[in-house]
Amino acid sequence: MKAIILSGGSGLRGRPFTKFIPKAMIPCNGKPAIYYIVKHIIHFKLIDEIIIITNLRGLGGQIYNYFHNTKYEERITFIQDSQKGTAGDLNCVSKEKISNPFVLWFADNLCAIDIHKMKSCFDKTNSYVCIATSNKKQEKTGFAKLENNMIKQFEEKPLMKLQLEECLGIYIMNRDVLDMTHKLMWKDNINLSYDVLQKLVKCKNISSFNIENQQWIDVESPAMVAYNTELVTTVTKLMEH
């Protein structure tokens, strides 16, 4: 089984930091974010190859240099991205060279997700795509409980239950999804959510794998990492097994 890590993109949310480093290389507990993803994926024996799609001619060269001459290098294949969006980058990979199914992981999402269990969910639902989701979120501010417009209780950064499921950037996909992305190659920007997943939802071909009480973090910038030190430490330690 193959795992594709998408680590291109301009990293607008991480500016000005991401003018100098790709989001995937943002330090988390002493190591780049993408290190933990690679380390975690390799732990699962069903994954025999990791494909990292990034801008090798630009900042993505830092990712290649980081893994070059390491024990992980023989398990990783690097591919130049398309500069045409998240789904456009999938067109850089030949369908014939991808396993069915395959893992797709956005490099700014950290979570010690159980790939075996997620694949089992994918198989049972017979879906085209299975998305990792969460209905709980650690808030970054304090909340107050009111009674007759008076504050009766404070809760500092509570774990909140969401009304909607929040989608992580972690998927298991049928490789036939690549047929959809290839048909859109004429577009300058092909977005995975808008151009592919929205269409599959209408066909009822997308399932959800809820991570339940597992914690995760979106590594959007060094400032976000610094603000969530405890969470980052917890998640990264779990991903290192």
Nearest to 122 by CA among 37, 4, 206: 206
- In residues, how long is the chain? 241
Helix (H/G/I), strand (E/B), else coil: 230: helix
What is the domain partition of the chain in residue ranges?
2-135+164-239
**Each residue of 9-28: pLDDT tens digit?**
665 676 677 788 899 999 99
**Inter-residue contact 166 to 137 (CB < 8 Å):** yes
Phi, psi of 55 (to 5 degrees): -85, 85
**Each residue of 163-172: pLDDT tens digit?**
678 889 999 9
Round to whole Å and give the CA distance between 123 and 91: 24
**Inter-residue contact 2 to 101 (CB < 8 Å):** no
**Each residue of 124-181: pLDDT tens digit?**
999 999 999 998 776 667 778 888 887 888 877 766 676 678 889 999 999 999 999 9
Residue 241 pLDDT grade (very low, low, confident, very high; cuts 50, 70, 90): confident
**Inter-residue contact 38 to 72 (CB < 8 Å):** yes
Average per-residue pLDDT in the chain? 89
pLDDT of residue 141: 74
Nearest to 193 by CA among 206, 182, 209: 206
Query: Was domain 2-135+164-239 assigned CATH 3.40.630.10?
Result: no
pTM reported for the whole predicted model: 0.90
